[in-house]
Chains A and B, each alone.
Chain A
Amino acid sequence: MKHDFEELLRVRGISLPPVSVATLQVNITRMCNQACRHCHVDASPARREMMSEAGIERCLEILARHEAIGTLDITGGAPELHPGFDGFVERATALGKHVMVRHNLTVQFDPHPQTGESKAYLPEFFARQRVEVVSSLPYYQQYFTDAQRGSGVFGKSIEALRRLNAVGYGEEGSGLLLNLVYNPVGPYLPAAQASLEADYKRELKTKFGVVFNSLYTITNMPINRFRLHLEKSGQLEAYMEKLTAAFNPAAAEGVMCRSLISVGYDGRIYDCDFNQMLDLQAQARDGRPLSIFDFDFEQVLARRIRFAAHCLGCTAGAGSSCGGATA
C-alpha cells in the first residue's frame, strides 16, 4: 500500500505509544461563521452539530477528577458559537485548568449563523478568564489570507487582533497569551517556524500595530475539504509524495496524539482532531471504542494510537501539531 504510515514506522523501527494525557481537546461544534477552503472539519455556517450539556458536564468531571490533564483545548468550528461555551470556559478555569480557545478572530464581528447573536464581547471575556487564545492567520498579508479563508477575512482578522491587543493580549508582561497559526495556502510545507514568526512580528507590528506571542506553523492535512481540492486539481499524489519524502523521525517522536486526546461533539474519543474527522475512534486495548461517558484514564493511556496516511502530515519536515512544529 502506498503511503503506509505504520509500515514506515516499522521499517524505521519507530514506536509511538501515548506518553500522557496532558491535554483534553474538545471539539464542541462544527458550526463556524467561516467556510475555509482548507478546513479539515468541513466546518461552515450550515453545520449544526453541538456537544450536549451532558457532554460538557462529563468533560468537566473528567478534568476535575484527573490532575494530570492540565489543559483544556476548546475547538470547533468556531467554539464560541456553542451556547454552553462561556460556561464551559468559566468552569474549567475555576478548576485551575489552563484553557486554550481556537478562536478564528472574525467570529467577533459576524453574527451567530443561527441566532444572530453578537460575539463582540469575546476579547474582554477571554481576558477575564485568562484563556490562551490561538488564532489562525495564514499570512501577514491579505492575498494569501483571503484566498484561503474568504474575501475580507484578513481585514476583519487584523481588527479583531487589535481588539485583543487592546485588552492586553500579546502584550509583554500581561500574561495574556495570543498565539497565531500559520498554515500554507496550498500543497506545500510550512517555512521554518522561527524565521516566519520573526517576519510576522515585524510586518504585523510595523504595518498594523499588532503584537502577539508565538507563531505556530501547521501543515495542511490531506483529508476532507483540502483533500478534495487536491484531488480536483490533480495534486493529491504529488502532495502525498512530498509528505512521505519529508518524513522526519524527530518530528514523529513529538506527535501531539502521544500527549493529547480529542473529544467529538458526541463524546467519542479520538487520538486527534484529524482522526475525529475521519471517524477513526480511539480504541482500548480490547478493541472497545473509547468515549467520555465511560472514561477510564488508564485505558486511554494504554491505547494503541490509530495511524493512517494523513499522519504523514504531522511528521513531515519540522513536524506539525496544534502547538506548531514538533522538531
Chain B
Amino acid sequence: MSSYYESEDLRKFGEIGKHAKGLADDFFKYYGNVTGTDGALTKREKALIALAVSHAQKCPYCIDAYTTQCLETGASPEQMMEAVHVAAVMQAGITLVHSVQMQNHLEKLVL
C-alpha cells in the first residue's frame, strides 16, 4: 500500500523543477547559498536551526536530511536534541502567549 512521506521520495526533491524549472533553479540556488556555506552563522549552526524548524513544521523529509546534515557538520546528539527543545518550547510559548488574548476577552466578558 502506498502512503505519503516515503523516505526514498527525499531523493526526488530535485524533481520539483519538472514543470517550473526556472523557479526551482532560483530556489535551489538560494537554498544552497543559505544552508551550504559558512557565513555569519556556521554550517553547523544553520543545520541545527533547520533541524528545529523541521520538527516545528513536522516534515519527515527534513528531519532525515537535517539529522544527517547535523552529523556531517559535527553537531553532537546533545546539540541536536537541544535544538528540538528550542522548537518545542517556542511552540509551547506561542500557544501560551495566546492566553493573554483569552484573558483580555475574559475580562471583557466578566461583569
A contact set with B: CB distance below 8 Å: 139, 141, 143-144, 184, 186, 188-192, 195-196, 199, 238, 241
Q: Ordered nearest first, which 5 A-B pairs have the shortest CB separation? A: A191-B74, A196-B74, A188-B68, A189-B72, A188-B72
Chain A residues with Cβ below 8 Å from B74 are: 191-192, 195-196, 199
Q: How far is the CA of A186 from the CA of B67 in the complex (A)?
A: 12
Name the residue on B nearest A203 (C-beta): B76
Supplied contacts A189-B72, A192-B74, 13 more A-B pairs, CB within 8 Å: A141-B76, A184-B72, A188-B68, A188-B71, A191-B44, A191-B71, A191-B72, A192-B43, A192-B73, A195-B73, A196-B74, A238-B11, A241-B11
Tell me, rounded to whole Å, the shortest Cβ–Cβ distance linking B8 to chain A: 8
Can you spell out 12 A-B residue pairs with CB atoms less than 8 angstroms apart?
A139-B76, A141-B77, A144-B77, A184-B71, A184-B72, A186-B71, A188-B72, A189-B72, A191-B74, A192-B73, A195-B42, A196-B74
Contact with A along B30-67 (1 / 0, CB 8 A): 00000000000011100000000000000000000000
Q: How far is the CA of A143 from the CA of B76 in the complex (A)?
A: 10
Tell me, rounded to whole Å, the shortest Cβ–Cβ distance linking B60 to chain A: 15
Chain A residues with Cβ below 8 Å from B44 are: 191, 195
* Count of B interface residues, CB-CB < 8 Å: 11
Chain B residues with Cβ below 8 Å from A186 are: 71
Q: Which DSSP category, helix, strand, loop or mixed, fits chain A's interface?
A: loop
Tell me, rounded to whole Å, the shortest Cβ–Cβ distance linking A320 to chain B: 13
Q: How far is the CA of A190 from the CA of B71 in the complex (A)?
A: 8
Name the residue on B nearest A238 (C-beta): B11
Contact with A along B15-26 (1 / 0, CB 8 A): 000000000000
Chain A residues with Cβ below 8 Å from B71 are: 184, 186, 188, 191
Q: How far is the CA of A195 from the CA of B73 in the complex (A)?
A: 9
Name the residue on A nearest B67 (C-beta): A188
Contact B72 A143 (CB under 8 A): no
Tell me, rounded to whole Å, the shortest Cβ–Cβ distance linking A207 to chain B: 12
Contact B42 A143 (CB under 8 A): no
Interface centre among B72, B73, B74, B77, by most A CB within 10 Å? B74
Contact with A along B58-101 (1 / 0, CB 8 A): 00000000001001111011000000000000000000000000
Q: How far is the CA of A190 from the CA of B77 in the complex (A)?
A: 15
Tell me, rounded to whole Å, the shortest Cβ–Cβ distance linking B68 to chain A: 5
Tell me, rounded to whole Å, the shortest Cβ–Cβ distance linking A202 to chain B: 12
Name the residue on A nearest B69 (C-beta): A188
Q: How far is the CA of A265 from the CA of B40 in the complex (A)?
A: 51
Chain A residues with Cβ below 8 Å from B77 are: 141, 143-144
Tell me, rounded to whole Å, the shortest Cβ–Cβ distance linking B46 to chain A: 13
Tell me, rounded to whole Å, the shortest Cβ–Cβ distance linking A251 to chain B: 15
Tell me, rounded to whole Å, the shortest Cβ–Cβ distance linking A324 to chain B: 14
Chain A residues with Cβ below 8 Å from B68 are: 188
Interface centre among A184, A192, A196, A199, by most B CB within 10 Å? A192
Knowing A195-B42, A195-B44, the reply to whether A190 touches B72 (Cβ < 8 A) is yes
Chain A residues with Cβ below 8 Å from B76 are: 139, 141
Tell me, rounded to whole Å, the shortest Cβ–Cβ distance linking A245 to chain B: 10
From A141, A191, A238, give the contact of B73 (CB < 8 A).
A191
Chain B residues with Cβ below 8 Å from A144 are: 77
Q: How far is the CA of A210 from the CA of B44 in the complex (A)?
A: 25
Chain A residues with Cβ below 8 Å from B72 are: 184, 188-191
Chain A residues with Cβ below 8 Å from B11 are: 238, 241
Tell me, rounded to whole Å, the shortest Cβ–Cβ distance linking B41 to chain A: 13
Chain B residues with Cβ below 8 Å from A191 are: 44, 71-74
Chain B residues with Cβ below 8 Å from A189 are: 72
Chain A residues with Cβ below 8 Å from B43 are: 192
Name the residue on B nearest A241 (C-beta): B11
Q: How far is the CA of A141 from the CA of B79 in the complex (A)?
A: 13
